[in-house]
Amino acid sequence: MGKKDAAGVSSETQPLLEKSSTKKRLSFDLTDHVAKRQRIEERTDHTRWRMRDDKGRQSWVYLEDDQALKDWPQSFADKYFLGLPVNAPDLPKPTNPLDAVRNGLEFFEKLQLPSGHWGCEYGGPMFLLPCIVIAWYVTKTPIPWYYATEIKNYLFARANPEDGGWGLHIEGETSVFGTSLNYTVLRIVGVDADHPVMVKARATLHKMGGATHAPHWAKWWLAVMGVAQWDIVNPTPPELWLLPDWVPIAPWRWWIHIRQVFLPMSYLWSKRWQAEETELIRSLRQELFVEDWAKINWASHRNTINPRDNYHPKTWVLNTVNWCLVNIWNPVLRTQAIAKKGEEWAMKLIEMENENTDHADLATVSGPMNTVCLYVKEGPDSYAVRRHRERAHEFLWMKDEGLLANGTNGVQCWDTAFAIQAVMDAGLTEDPRWRPMLMKALEFLDDQQIRENVKDQDKCYRQQRKGGWAFSNKDQGYAVSDCVSEALKSVIILQKTPGFPTLIDDRRIFDAIDTLLTYQNPSGGCSSYEPPRAGTWMEVLNAAEVFGNIMVEYEYPECTTAVVTALSLFRKHWPEYRTKEIERFIERAVKWIKTAQKPHGGWYGSWGICFTYATMFALESLASIGETYKNSDYAKRGCDFLISKQREDGGWSEHYRACETGEYIEHPSGSQVVMTAWAVIALMKADYPNLEHIKKGIKLIMDRQQSNGEWLQEAIEGVFNKSCMISYPNYKFTFTLKALGMFARKYPNETVV
């Protein structure tokens, strides 16, 4: 007990793996798996949880053994993440923004993890935990009691207090997607159907029409479980992967996330694979539906969906395509040979993804789906399935409320880059007090730089990545334009600071630049993982219903600005390298930024909420070419927009609904520190002349700082695909510190308190 394997999970986590070499376990006995009730307790002992950081691979370990408990004390960061008392000392009350930065760093430094990075919960979406838990269930992966217990606690804590359901994300209204899948999770982890929480959730689900009214992705998971029949799932034929590359709708042109999800979806849809029937599955068939299960006309519900889940209704084009697939292609034209060829190629692509990511996969949807595919293809004890099971732990996060699923396998490189930049903005990189912390952060980024392109890059449709950084870590290995940029800026800043070594030599810096230069779109803007491979018209094929802007890459002011500022910093130090291309890149990028300005003066944000976030980036881009409030109409209108949204108390407060509706909406809970930081950073970048506005924002940030230097969590900060929110808890440190530090350096003689 307490023994840890390579993935850092205590031996209890993987009893199946440990015993997997024995013959008996190879043909895992169904009765063994389902007859035993899942052990579940009221709660675990939170003082026994530890976060293991294995060179940037994070996993939560539960120490059941008392000796192990003594040998591995709980760290400050563990306690902080778990909401246990950390007893951070009170610090002298800051009288100016720079002292507030020092206090903030004093606290934030303690959250740096052993390998040098910062981590945090990365929850928010409520459809990710179901992907993992259902995949475990159908692949007969035992769930340790402490996971089961804390998953239950998390979902209980996050049930809507009024109707008892769950939404698309933690702040969203109850939906069939959230409720049908999280209800299923609770049943899998051992909660009885007659538990009051379940009774309430079920009643709400039934009021919304039951699981026949779920969106496509939920129907797919329920079909895989055998709780629904495959006829209710709109078609996802793997033979689409056989289309020649020149075909405008070929899947390699889709946004990386949707194509990686479509891949396993298409494989299992084609096989119409279903898990072995169990008592729980039989029971869920009664619990999740309003109608008598045996009499449901599955095919007639392919397009049934509750309006709450229908953020992006399917277009008539897609409905027509689906009709043709269901009524003509599948029954008449789809030969077995075509189906087989499609499945084989889809599986080959899945295997390449597994190899390229060491079975962690791109994110928390495709990963669990791929686990099931490999289970179907290679059997329960194949290496691929075992490795998938091990890597799944890296997507889970333990906090005071319980165990949740993160959006990716962490936020490592991204948050570390911003932490470094916050110190830089305050002009403190040369202060020996912060050297050890910064040194560790630099070493982390050095270790995490991606050194090679993926094998057979073109065959698996991957983008050049050499020299880049991922959002999380290098073994996930998907370089993202802004993640590369922010990490590169941080590395350059530190390596050019006296006292820091050159860990990353020029050749590796040039590799990063070469990769960055591939990200520009014909429009001049930059997207996230790849330049767009098709037009936005592809959105007519968006089948997911719950998300918007999901089918292809778009240009984003956030990503574009990150690349512009990285290139600008780079050319200051290496003016000779690809000079003309960089100059032209920046010029075209900023031109695109201008075209993306909305009539009200703000910019729409796709990864943070919402206009406040993107306007900060856009104004930074303009400032990088010398355009500010006094000489640029674009910058002026951007500032005026932000000023028009400043609240009485000096703060800003945008609601996530702005991302859904495209209109600025105020958050009912009042000013938020993170948003206020974004807004004042924007105003400072643009040299907004009326300092009183900036000072009021800075004062609000300082007033909200706690006596130990920290800031407390407020409303959710991030978003993706317009409708789903995601938490960035470290932003309450990195952006507040950046705002205060910038102010201190830019206006050294101004007082705010």
Q: Which residues are catalytic?
A: 482
Q: Which member of 177, 273, 418, 471 binds ligand LAN (CB under 6 A)?
A: 471
CB of 407 to ligand LAN, least distance (A): 3
Size of the site for ligand LAN (CB under 6 A): 20
Nearer to ligand LAN, 212 or 528 (CB): 528
Q: Which member of 189, 288, 321, 365 binds ligand LAN (CB under 6 A)?
A: 365
Nearer to ligand LAN, 44 or 409 (CB): 409
SS (H, E, C) 64-118: CCHHHHHHCCCCHHHHHHHCCCCCCCCCCCCCCHHHHHHHHHHHHHCCECCCCCE
SS3 714: coil
Nearer to ligand LAN, 168 or 442 (CB): 168
Nearer to ligand LAN, 681 or 700 (CB): 681
593 is an interface residue for ligand LAN by CB under 6 A: no
607 is an interface residue for ligand LAN by CB under 6 A: yes
Nearer to ligand LAN, 369 or 384 (CB): 369
Nearer to ligand LAN, 212 or 730 (CB): 730
132 is an interface residue for ligand LAN by CB under 6 A: no
Q: Which of 644, 646, 647, 668 is nearest to 656 (CA)?
A: 668
Give the distance, in angstroms, between the CA of residue 454 and the centroid of all CA atoms in the same chain: 22
348-to-224, 264, 377, 454 alpha-carbon distances in Å:
21, 11, 11, 15
Q: Which of 61, 187, 127, 152 is nearest to 366 (CA)?
A: 127
Q: Which member of 394, 558, 710, 714 binds ligand LAN (CB under 6 A)?
A: 558
CB of 378 to ligand LAN, least distance (A): 24
Site string for ligand LAN, 316-355 (x = CB under 6 A): ----------------------------------------
Q: Maximum CA pair distance of the chain? A: 78
521 is an interface residue for ligand LAN by CB under 6 A: no
710 is an interface residue for ligand LAN by CB under 6 A: no
Question: Within a 13 Å sphere around the CA of 391, how many CA atoms are in the beta-carbon half?
Answer: 26
CB of 313 to ligand LAN, least distance (A): 17
651-to-94, 132, 706 alpha-carbon distances in Å:
19, 39, 17
Q: How far apart are CA 508 and CA 651, in angstroms?
A: 41
Q: Which stretch binds ligand LAN (CB under 6 A): 190-198, 283-291, 358-366, 588-596?
A: 358-366
SS3 667: coil
715-to-173, 727, 734 alpha-carbon distances in Å:
15, 9, 16
Q: How far apart are CA 390 and CA 6, in angstroms?
A: 9
117 is an interface residue for ligand LAN by CB under 6 A: no
261 is an interface residue for ligand LAN by CB under 6 A: yes
Q: How far apart are CA 58 and CA 342, in angstroms?
A: 35
CB of 277 to ligand LAN, least distance (A): 29
Q: Which member of 363, 441, 479, 681 binds ligand LAN (CB under 6 A)?
A: 363
Token pair 């910058």 is at which residue?
A: 635
- Please provide residue 663's backbone torsions phi and psi, each rounded to the nearest 5 degrees: -120, 145
Site string for ligand LAN, 712-731 (x = CB under 6 A): --------xx----x-----
Nearer to ligand LAN, 520 or 528 (CB): 528
Q: How far apart are CA 364 and CA 129, in angstroms?
A: 8
Token pair 């990511």 is at which residue?
A: 357
Nearer to ligand LAN, 12 or 545 (CB): 545
SS (H, E, C) 257-323: HHHHHHHHHHHHHHHCCCCCCCHHHHHHHHHCCCCCHHHCCHHHHCCCCCHHHCCCCCCHHHHHHHH
68 is an interface residue for ligand LAN by CB under 6 A: no
Q: How far apart are CA 470 and CA 463, in angstroms?
A: 12
Report the residue closest to ligand LAN, judged by CB. 407
Q: Which member of 80, 252, 547, 711 binds ligand LAN (CB under 6 A)?
A: 547
Q: Which stretch binds ligand LAN (CB under 6 A): 31-39, 357-365, 447-455, 580-588?
A: 357-365
Q: Which member of 48, 257, 588, 732 binds ligand LAN (CB under 6 A)?
A: 257
Nearer to ligand LAN, 278 or 527 (CB): 527
Token pair 């800075």 is at which residue?
A: 698
Q: Give the angle subtended at the CA of 41 by the CAs of 36 and 46, to the nearest 5°.
A: 135
CB of 728 to ligand LAN, least distance (A): 8
CB of 188 to ligand LAN, least distance (A): 21
CB of 61 to ligand LAN, least distance (A): 24
Residue 72: CB atoms within 10 Å? 17
SS3 content of the chain, % helix, strand, coil (to 5): 55, 5, 40
Nearer to ligand LAN, 103 or 448 (CB): 448
Q: Which member of 44, 408, 453, 473 binds ligand LAN (CB under 6 A)?
A: 408
Using CB under 6 A, which residues numbered 476 to 495 contact ligand LAN?
480, 482-483
Which spans of this chain sit near ligand LAN (rule: CB under 6 A)? Answer: 257, 261, 363-365, 407-408, 414, 471, 480, 482-483, 528, 547, 558-559, 607, 720-721, 726
